[in-house]
Structure formats: structure tokens, C-alpha cells
Amino acid sequence: MQDLTHYINGEHVAGISGRFADVMNPATGEVQARAPLASVEELNRAVDVAAKAQPAWAAVNPQRRARVLMKFVDLLNRDMDKLAEALSREHGKTLPDAAGDVQRGLEVVEYCIGAPQLLKGEYTDSAGPGIDLYSMRQALGVTAGITPFNFPAMIPMWMFAPAIACGNAFILKPSERDPSVPLMLAELFEEAGLPKGILQVVNGDKGAVDAILDHPVIQSIGFVGSTPIAEYIYGRGCANGKRVQCFGGAKNHMIIMPDADMDQAADALVGAGYGAAGERCMAISVAVPVGDETADRLIEKLVPRIEKLKVGPYTAGNDVDYGPVVTKAAKENILRLVQSGVDQGAKLVVDGRDFNLQGYEDGFFVGAHLFDNVTTDMDIYKTEIFGPVLSTVRAQSYEEALGYAMDHEYGNGTAIFTRDGDTARDFANRINVGMIGVNVPIPVPLAYHTFGGWKKSAFGDLNQHGPDAFKFYTRTKTVTARWPSGLKDGGEFHFKAMD
Ligand code: NAD
């Protein structure tokens, strides 16, 4: 069994705390590696290294910094298969899904190559007599990010690509469940020419996170993960005077209007509900058909599609629809919630509870489940299940359906399937959710737009990637300058004239 490392000052460094987390192979249920859990001292060392390296990196002109990002993109493409394989092995998702994880992160790196343009400041000539005014965006210094298990390539890149393009140093604390790809990314970035100490990976759990939250040198913290932890990190990070953005959990509703193309809606729901075993913050977990006839037609189309889903390990080929969930605890939690749905009176139309994959009996595979007649007081409706479980809540009108999505505490993504432009437009305008799909089930914005939910799905003012990231990872400084010649004759005259 392999002991993984931290990546500090350009080197793989063994953990010295004596604490480790098991990294599982979710398909077999075996422990395949151990991730070191950093002590405060180990985190402090990475911060010291970053603080030393950062000023020189910030002084590199933005175009040269962008060239390092260009080279990094080349290397990501070169190593795509290797990265995807390492990702699938620890996370469990299929290889095409894992490659997609890397690809979506890579696209943010590509966007950040525009740093010279995105970092340009503003200038006002002759704001007063001989006075010019200009503003510039400066790097924050040492920044940090704490990321979840479900996108171990994409989400770290969402954070560190803009942070580094802006001239910051970045300390990544990835999920202890699948830390290998983040370590590979740090190595690749240095191969692309990034100076040592600008991107470091410190593995760990709450201990390392608390050390990040309390370290006086760390200027900003990005977090993506579950809502209770997001709230904790936001509160403690802000109280310590840091710039913090936290993205949390979700319960994404898809409304299906009677006029929707029902085949298209069913296909979309199967992909968005069960893809990646439902372990996506943008997964659709609640279907809201409008009218009983729509609901009956939809369920009739969904059932055979769901029953056809192929569940298996990533090694079984590209026709596998989804793999195991990440841990035994995650599997148990999903099955417990499914049971609560049955006990609380929902109708289990597709029952995956007895699913067993021959040869992989110890793996964390979960069969697909479909519930009908779910009501808003049930735990399966209120809770983020993060598994292959789709709940159907029947609505009798568009207003009732809209109300469900509006009233839920989460507000990450939502979708409407309809052929009616008026309804779609009304939905997009009124809904209190951050990312909206119209006949698109997983409306993840592309790299040059921003990503972020509302309500309990996000804490902080700015979204991830796109132009917001360049605001989050810089401070604006505004200079008002007057030069002596501006005070001579002409300057005085202008001043009087202006009065
Ligand atoms: P998680 O909250 O358990 O862990 C996220 C990170 O926080 C990890 O790095 C972990 O080590 C750390 N952490 C865990 N417990 C902690 C504690 N008590 N104190 C301090 N740090 C702690 O989340 P997860 O299970 O890795 O990921 C799944 C969750 O992430 C889901 O809720 C999903 O919706 C959410 N997510 C949200 C988005 C988004 O953009 N909104 C994107 C992806 C995932």
C-alpha cells in the first residue's frame, strides 16, 4: 500500500504528523493508499515557503505568467489519460467522466491565459489640475483552497488557475478521499515552468483546515463542499479577517411542463440524476412534473431507461453509466435515506436496494432508485442524498412547481423543460436559484461565465471562475497623482475655470 505525500516547495514530502486517512478503491472496497493528515507545523511550513516565493511571481509580467498556464494546458492534454485513470481509481467515476472532470478544469486554465487583459486597470487622465487617477489590481499574496472529493481535478483548477494567474501563491487542501490527482496537477504545473512554492498541496482533514483558517498570512480562502462545513469555514474565515467564498450543497429541481418533449426530458433526467452516481452538486435530484398526466407519462418513460443503466467499475469499459459511490459510509447513508423515503410513504418505483455487482461485492455500488409521490416534509426531499436517487414531486400547476424550487433551502441549479418561451422566460426571471437550464438539465456555466448558487448553496459575494475569479484573487488599489507641472499656470487656470 502506498503512502501519499504533501507537495511542498517543489517536492513530494512525507507526512510527519503520524496521522493518515485511508484512500479507498471504491470499486473493490479495498484500501489502496494512505493520505497524510497535516499537522499545524506542516501547514505552517507550506505557508512560509509560499510567502517567500510569491512576491517574485507577482513581479513576473502577466503575459509571462500566462505562458506558464499555456504550457500547463499542453501538459494536461498530454497526460489526460493518466490523470483520468488516477482519478477514476480513487473516486470511482467512469473514465469519460473523469476525463470530463480534467477537461472542465483545463478550460478554466485556458480562460486564465487571458490574465493580461483581465488584470488591466482603469485610468482617468486629468481628473483635476495635473491630476491623473488610476486603479490597478494587485495579487493578494498567499491564498488557499479547500476542495471536495467529487471533482478532484476541476474544482482545484477553478481555484488555483485564477489565483496563480493573478500573481498569488496558492495552498490546496484537497479532499483526503482522492488526493492523487491534485498532487499530479501541482507537479505538472511546475513542469510547465511554475516556480517552486507557488502551488503546494497540503493533505489533511479538519486540523489542516483550521490551521488555514487561523493562519494570519493566508489572505483568502476558497471552499467547495457540503453546506455545514461551508458555513463553518465562512464564519471562522471571515471572523479572522480573510476574504472567503464558500460553495455548498444542493437539491436541484427540474420542472417538466405538459408541453415538454417527454423523451428528451426523460433522457435528460437519467443523465442528470444518475450520472456520476448522483455525486454532483449540479445533479438533478427532484423531478417536478406539472399535472398527473405529465407525471404518469414521465414515469413511464423513466422506468425502462433507469432499469437499463449499467453500473460497474471504470475498468469495465466506456459503456458503464456510473460507478460506485466514494465510501462505504456514503453508500450506507444513501440506503438509509432510501429506507426513510419508503417508511415516510413515498412510492419506490425503481428499487435498487438489493443491487449487487458480481465480483465486486465489497465495492460501494448503489443501484438506481426512483421515487414517486414524494412530499416536501420527507427526509429524501429535504436532504441532499448525493447518490443515484431521483425523487418525483407532483405539482398541479406551474406556480406550485415553481414554489417548490423557490422554497427549498438550497439554490444551486435548476431546470425547466418546456416548449413555451413565455413560461421558460418567467421561470428564469423569477426563480431564486443561481444557475438555470432551459431544456438543459445540468446548466454548468462555461469557464468564461461564473459558477455559483444562491441561498444555502453559496456564501460570499463573488462566484467561481469567469471574471469574478479575477476580482476575488486581487485587491484594487487606486492612485490619485498630481505632478508639479500641473500646478503651474495652466493648472491653476483650469482649477479656477472648474470652480
Ligand atoms: P465535505 O464538506 O465533506 O468536504 C469538503 C472539504 O472539507 C474536504 O476537503 C474535507 O477535508 C473538508 N472537511 C470535511 N469536514 C470538515 C470539518 N469538520 N472541518 C473542516 N474541514 C472539513 O464535502 P465532500 O463530501 O467532499 O463533497 C460533497 C459536497 O460538496 C456535496 O454537499 C456537494 O453538493 C458539494 N459540492 C458543491 C459544489 C458547489 O459548487 N456548490 C461543487 C461540488 C461539490
Using most ligand atoms within 8 A of CB, pick from 210, 229, 326, 459 the residue to mutate for ligand 1. 229
Q: What is the pLDDT of residue 499?
A: 46
281 is catalytic: yes
Mutate to test the pocket of ligand 1, among 20, 226, 246, 325 (most ligand atoms within 8 A of CB): 226
3-state secondary structure string across the chain: CEECCEEECCEEECCCCCCEEEEEECCCCEEEEEEECCCHHHHHHHHHHHHHHHHHHHHCCHHHHHHHHHHHHHHHHHCHHHHHHHHHHHHCCCHHHHHHHHHHHHHHHHHHCCHHHHCCCEEEEEEECCEEEEEEEEECCEEEEECCCCCCCHHHHHHHHHHHHCCCEEEEECCCCCCHHHHHHHHHHHHCCCCCCCEEECCCCHHHHHHHHHCCCEEEEEEECCHHHHHHHHHHHHHCCCEEEEECCCCEEEEECCCCCHHHHHHHHHHHHHHHHHCCCCCEEEEEEECHHHHHHHHHHHHHHHHCCCECCHHHCCCCCECCCCCHHHHHHHHHHHHHHHHCCCEEEECCCCCCCCCCCCCCCCCCEEEECCCCCCHHHHCCCCCCEEEECCECCHHHHHHHHHHCCEECEEEEECCCHHHHHHHHHHCCCCEEEECCCCCCCCCCCCECCEECCEECCCCECHHHHHHHCEEEEEEEEECHHHHCHHHHHHHHHHC
* 272 alpha carbon – ligand 1 mean position (Å): 20
Is 351 touching ligand 1 by the criterion CB < 6 Å? no
Nearest of 224, 305, 231, 314 to residue 268 by alpha carbon: 305
- Please tell me the predicted confidence (pLDDT) of residue 485: 73
pLDDT, position 1: 82
Closest-lying ligand 1 atom to the alpha carbon of residue 229:
2
Residue 276, φ and ψ in degrees, nearest 5: 55, 30
Residue by residue, pLDDT tens for the chain (499 residues) are 899 999 999 999 999 999 999 999 999 999 999 999 999 999 999 999 999 999 999 999 999 999 999 999 999 999 999 999 999 999 999 999 999 999 999 999 999 999 999 999 999 999 998 999 999 999 999 999 999 999 999 999 999 999 999 999 999 999 999 999 999 999 999 999 999 999 999 999 999 999 999 999 999 999 999 999 999 999 999 999 999 999 999 999 999 999 999 999 999 999 999 999 999 999 999 999 999 999 999 999 999 999 999 999 999 988 999 999 999 999 999 999 999 999 999 999 999 999 999 999 999 999 999 999 999 999 999 999 999 999 999 999 999 999 999 999 999 999 999 999 999 999 999 999 999 999 999 899 999 999 999 999 999 999 999 999 999 999 999 999 998 776 665 545 444 444 4
Q: SS3 of 482, please?
A: strand
- Whole-number Å distance, alpha carbon 147 to ligand 1 midpoint, is 6
Atom of ligand 1 nearest to the CA of 227: 32
CA of 189 to the centre of ligand 1 (A): 24
Tell if the pTM clears 0.75, that is, is over it.
yes
Per-residue model confidence (pLDDT) at position 489: 53
Q: How far apart are CA 489 and CA 216, in angstroms?
A: 50
- Which domains are assigned to the chain? 2-248+466-479 (3.40.605.10), 252-438 (3.40.309.10)
